[in-house]
A and B are shown apart, each in its own frame.
Chain A
Amino acid sequence: MSTTAATRPSRRRLLQGLGAGAVGLAVGLPLVGGVREVARADGTGDDLELSFLISNLDGGWVPAKSAISSYEANVWQQLTDKLVHTDPKGKVTPWIAESWEQSEDATEYVLHLKDGVTFSDGTPLDADAVIANLQAWAVGRPDEGLPRVGLFPGGTFEGAEALDPLTVRVAFTAPTLSFLPTLGYHGCQLMAPSSLAGSLEEQSDLSTQVGSGPFVLESWAAGDHVRLVRREDYDWAPPALGASGPATLAAITYTVLPDDTLRASAARAHQTDIAYNVNPQVLDSFTQAGFHIEVPRYLGFVHGYSLRTNVAPFDDVRVRQAFTRGIDRAEILRTVFTDAWEPATSWLQAGVPETTDLTELFEYDPELADRLLDEAGWTERNADGFRTKDGTELGFTLYPTPYLTGSVPEAELISQHLRRLGIRVHTQKLDIPTWTERVTNDLSQGVGEVTRSFVDVGTVAGVITDEGEDWFSVGSSDPELVRLRDAVAGAADREERAGLVDELSRHVLEQAYFIPLEQNVQRIYVQSPDLKGITFNAVAIPSYHAATKEPS
């Protein structure tokens, strides 16, 4: 099975390639202009096709391993279904699970499944299939190289049993509020039990991966393309998408084009319907040319800096506060990004249901910042005009993250803002390996840059102290932080936890442990204006079940 899927297209390609050489040499260039017609996936009425350009599909197709990558997630989203749908506001609504009950202490859940759902190989998506999936997400088969899904709360997972063919009971050893929202994230896609039973190498072959989604695989070639076609008997889309029955589009082709400029050029030449991730700096030219730009935001932390409080000068809360008060975020949004970017309102993205607007704790106030630095004793000025204390100059270095386009001009702008306060900020751009080594893994580095999505707000408890990733290098020295961490982690009720998250966010921002910049956008979709009916989930992955192409 694997060989046919992998080799057939390549043999065709070989012939095509050799043919190209022969034809081209014999008759010259103009004749090959004929490819233009087939280049753009197009059609009318029932034959509408979508062409999607993506930077890479290199993570492989083993569901548990590729689950974290946003690239493969684009394809999985069309091939598979999930138990619940989580929308960009974090709202959990039914999908394959029509309804559910949760115990008082959030340690036990009962899921009621929709009747009549089948995988594309005809096997039923019933309680047994769901249990096989839960087992794969929570435990995996590490001795066979198959990890569990890292985002799934496997640590507290006790087990799952079928109460009847359409009812599953899931038990946890401790309150696990993240269970339901996690079911809506990529990674927790439902696969046929036969697919999950395969070995690591078998699972790496996309053609052995059977889902129950609105599209099925037609062909794929590693690192090159994936082509999906509509499943005609599909009838269990999540009600949240607002469409039922089979998909409108007949086929979707994902083509890998690693180069940014090439994807942009192909879009500009109208050779594709969607180009995924282009440089934000060129977005305006696309808007002017009539393209539609989608910049969905995921749930998670905003883009910002986490400060290590054991590194000077961030060991002084007043310096940290001056840092956050000295940044003119409105100017950053105006000059570095486009109108599609939104200001930060907390250290959490605004879509996170527990987020409260705490802008007043970090908004631009250069006078306050000046005062704070004076109070902290940075009163002298040196020949260059920078503040000093006991002969030491006030300053630090920013290493912009190589993962986020725009972070370099942003850091340069921030360095100008802080210069006005008398803080000398160097900026240095590094490539990914060097950045990992010099910044991420170097704990003597005062500023860490954060761009991260999360499945559930409970994640915050895992990053703030030495019980987890200890972003601020405070260890357990801040009793208020420790109290709030334990309260958020152990909460059994979402409303009660929301209040605790607000308290925690307030504390983090008041202490200026975290410097919010703007709401994070890491996925940019440049779309033809003809495309309609596209919806995004909580982690900014599109669903094309209800999508259609209509000239606007």
Chain B
Amino acid sequence: MSTLSPTAPDGPTGALAPAAPSAAARTARRYAGFAARRTGQALIVILLAYVLVFLVLAAIPGDPISAQLDNPQAGYTEEEKAQIRAYHGLDQPVLVQLVVSLVHALQGDLGTSLATSQPVTAMLGAAIPSTLALASTALVLAVAIAAVLGLLSRVLPEGRANSLVRSVPTLFLSTPNFLIGLVLIQVLAVNLGLFSLVDSESPGSTLAAALTLAIPVSAQIAQVFITALDEAAGQDYAEVALARGLPPAQVVVRHLLRPSLLPTVTVIGLVLGEVLGGSLITETIFGRTGVGTVVQKAVAAQDVPVLLIAVVLSAAVFVVVNLVIDLLYPLLDPRLRTAKEAR
């Protein structure tokens, strides 16, 4: 990836630099170059995703306009059908449609739903806050649950309680999302009336949905966190600290937490996809109107313009998240600033 020679990790990039700049400035400049390159790559990936998704969707036969027009009950004439198809550009060759759509998208016009005739931006724009609220609450809950489990696994003395804590993630992982949701709905909403099924965006409903989503996700974070803590605990400095008689809680906070954070942050980045994917199912279970619901309906109705933007959007989210993690690594761990570049 990098042009730097592995044998000279600390050497200046431009050997011809007239006056050697300070080490910090050099690192900053190198980091800026790395960031710009990564950002450019990310943009190209998003563009390619757009083209690819467009072509794949174009290969699927059928669309909601034709479904409506071809309904024998409606009794439209061939001329009427042709006029309406032409209005939507459905009579153009695929490549022309692609170019038109791409040009419009670059100008900020993301198209119109074939099923509802609404602008796609309005449909997704209305759905995004709901998904964002669900996903962010779920992520916060998941991290909190994982943190508690991880810390307990180090602080609790070895024994039944500790192994119980350590088996919780496996239990969480093996419980399907929809089952948790159904139980929460039955117990909390129907039996106890703690939240409203009708007002699915109310605080209580959001919390219940987020909990449904957070439980399996927290398990993955907890597993990595616990392993990382265990690994750190096996290091000499930690054993020394323990031998010096420091209480386990202090050892965790002072010596184990920091080295365990890197793998944990990585896995949080990875489960973000899980959170977004899982929100589709969770939204359905709780009747929320989020991006997942919009996508699901677009699939059922073969509403290509909505699907296209939704898929590209999720691809973009992935790319951006990975970009952010990539850009964060060197800042989290100074060793990586050079090592990663050099690799």
- Tell whether A pairs with B: yes
Q: Which residues of A contact B (CB under 8 A)?
A: 2-3, 6-7, 10-11, 13-14, 16-21, 23-25, 29-30, 32-33, 35-36, 38-40, 51, 53, 56, 58-62, 65, 68, 140, 142-145, 147-148, 150-151, 154-155, 200-201, 203-205, 221-224, 255-259, 262, 265-266, 268-269, 271-272, 452, 462, 469
User: A36 and B287 in contact (CB under 8 A), knowing A21-B136, A142-B87, A262-B185?
Assistant: no
**Closest-CB distance, B285 to chain A (whole angstroms):** 7
**A266 to chain B: which residues have CB within 8 Å?**
189, 197-198
Inter-chain contact B122/A58, CB cutoff 8 Å: no
CA distance A127 to B116 in the complex (A): 30
Q: What would 9 more interface pairs be, CB under 8 Å, given A14-B132, A29-B207, A224-B289?
A: A21-B133, A33-B192, A39-B202, A51-B198, A59-B115, A150-B73, A222-B118, A223-B127, A266-B198
Inter-chain contact A33/B197, CB cutoff 8 Å: no
The residues in B between 148 and 203 inclusive whose CB is less than 8 angstroms from any CB of A are 185-186, 188-190, 192-203
Inter-chain contact B80/A6, CB cutoff 8 Å: no
Inter-chain contact A269/B117, CB cutoff 8 Å: no
Q: Which residues of B contact A (CB under 8 A)?
A: 68-69, 71-76, 79-80, 83-84, 86-88, 112-113, 115-119, 122-123, 125-127, 129-130, 132-134, 136-137, 140-141, 144, 185-186, 188-190, 192-207, 210, 284-287, 289, 293-294, 297, 301
CA distance A189 to B155 in the complex (A): 69
Return the contact of A32 from the options B113, B200, B204 (Cβ within 8 A): B204
Inter-chain contact A68/B203, CB cutoff 8 Å: no
**A272 to chain B: which residues have CB within 8 Å?**
198
Which residue of B has the minimal Cβ distance to A67?
A: B74
Which residue of A has the minimal Cβ distance to B81?
A: A142
Inter-chain contact B74/A68, CB cutoff 8 Å: yes
Inter-chain contact B133/A13, CB cutoff 8 Å: yes
**Closest-CB distance, A465 to chain B (whole angstroms):** 14
CA distance A256 to B200 in the complex (A): 10
Return the contact of A62 from the options B117, B195, B197, B289 (Cβ within 8 A): B117
User: A35 and B88 in contact (CB under 8 A), knowing A258-B287, A259-B285?
Assistant: no
Inter-chain contact A36/B193, CB cutoff 8 Å: yes
**A265 to chain B: which residues have CB within 8 Å?**
185-186, 189-190, 197
Inter-chain contact B125/A6, CB cutoff 8 Å: yes
Inter-chain contact B206/A16, CB cutoff 8 Å: yes
Number of A-B contacts (CB under 8 A): 226
**B113 to chain A: which residues have CB within 8 Å?**
60, 204
User: A222 and B133 in contact (CB under 8 A), knowing A33-B204, A147-B84, A258-B284?
Assistant: no
Inter-chain contact B195/A17, CB cutoff 8 Å: no
Return the contact of B206 from the options A21, A145, A201 (Cβ within 8 A): A21
CA distance A143 to B84 in the complex (A): 6
Which residue of B has the minimal Cβ distance to A14?
A: B129
User: A200 and B117 in contact (CB under 8 A), knowing A150-B73, A257-B287?
Assistant: yes
Return the contact of A256 from the options B73, B144, B210, B287 (Cβ within 8 A): B287
Which residue of B has the minimal Cβ distance to A145?
A: B87
Minimum-distance CB pairs A-B, first 6: A17-B133, A150-B74, A20-B203, A60-B116, A39-B196, A14-B129
Inter-chain contact A16/B203, CB cutoff 8 Å: yes
User: A20 and B122 in contact (CB under 8 A), knowing A259-B285, A262-B287?
Assistant: no
Inter-chain contact A35/B137, CB cutoff 8 Å: no
CA distance A510 to B118 in the complex (A): 49
**Closest-CB distance, B328 to chain A (whole angstroms):** 23
Inter-chain contact B118/A205, CB cutoff 8 Å: yes
**A462 to chain B: which residues have CB within 8 Å?**
75
User: A145 and B88 in contact (CB under 8 A), knowing A25-B144, A35-B204?
Assistant: yes
Which residue of B has the minimal Cβ distance to A200?
A: B117
Return the contact of B194 from the options A3, A32, A256 (Cβ within 8 A): A32
**Closest-CB distance, B227 to chain A (whole angstroms):** 26
CA distance A39 to B201 in the complex (A): 11
**A205 to chain B: which residues have CB within 8 Å?**
118
**A56 to chain B: which residues have CB within 8 Å?**
297
Inter-chain contact B130/A13, CB cutoff 8 Å: yes
**A29 to chain B: which residues have CB within 8 Å?**
188, 194, 204, 207
Return the contact of B201 from the options A17, A58, A143 (Cβ within 8 A): A17
**Closest-CB distance, A274 to chain B (whole angstroms):** 11
User: A65 and B199 in contact (CB under 8 A), knowing A145-B84, A201-B112?
Assistant: no
Inter-chain contact B196/A271, CB cutoff 8 Å: yes
User: A21 and B297 in contact (CB under 8 A), knowing A145-B84, A272-B198?
Assistant: no
CA distance A541 to B338 in the complex (A): 70
Which residue of B has the minimal Cβ distance to A272?
A: B198
CA distance A547 to B289 in the complex (A): 29
**Closest-CB distance, A313 to chain B (whole angstroms):** 27
11 of the cross-chain contacts (CB-CB < 8 Å) are A6-B125, A17-B137, A17-B203, A20-B137, A21-B133, A30-B194, A33-B194, A59-B116, A151-B73, A222-B123, A469-B72
**Closest-CB distance, A200 to chain B (whole angstroms):** 5
CA distance A11 to B126 in the complex (A): 8
**Closest-CB distance, A489 to chain B (whole angstroms):** 13
**Closest-CB distance, B265 to chain A (whole angstroms):** 20
**B87 to chain A: which residues have CB within 8 Å?**
142-145, 200
**A68 to chain B: which residues have CB within 8 Å?**
68, 71, 73-74
**Closest-CB distance, A456 to chain B (whole angstroms):** 12
**A65 to chain B: which residues have CB within 8 Å?**
68, 117
**B289 to chain A: which residues have CB within 8 Å?**
221-224, 256
Which residue of A has the minimal Cβ distance to B188?
A: A29
**A14 to chain B: which residues have CB within 8 Å?**
129-130, 132-133
Which residue of B has the minimal Cβ distance to A269?
A: B190
CA distance A462 to B132 in the complex (A): 51
CA distance A504 to B274 in the complex (A): 60
CA distance A437 to B32 in the complex (A): 56
CA distance A142 to B83 in the complex (A): 6
**A204 to chain B: which residues have CB within 8 Å?**
113, 116-118
Inter-chain contact B193/A16, CB cutoff 8 Å: no
User: A223 and B193 in contact (CB under 8 A), knowing A16-B203, A60-B117, A204-B118?
Assistant: no
**A144 to chain B: which residues have CB within 8 Å?**
87
CA distance A328 to B78 in the complex (A): 44
CA distance A20 to B137 in the complex (A): 8
Inter-chain contact A222/B201, CB cutoff 8 Å: no
Inter-chain contact A142/B84, CB cutoff 8 Å: yes
CA distance A129 to B117 in the complex (A): 24
CA distance A6 to B192 in the complex (A): 33
Inter-chain contact A223/B136, CB cutoff 8 Å: no
**A256 to chain B: which residues have CB within 8 Å?**
287, 289
Return the contact of B198 from the options A39, A59, A61 (Cβ within 8 A): A39
CA distance A59 to B190 in the complex (A): 30
User: A16 and B112 in contact (CB under 8 A), knowing A147-B69, A258-B284?
Assistant: no
**Closest-CB distance, A15 to chain B (whole angstroms):** 9
Residue of A144, A200, A203 with most partner-chain B CB within 10 A:
A200
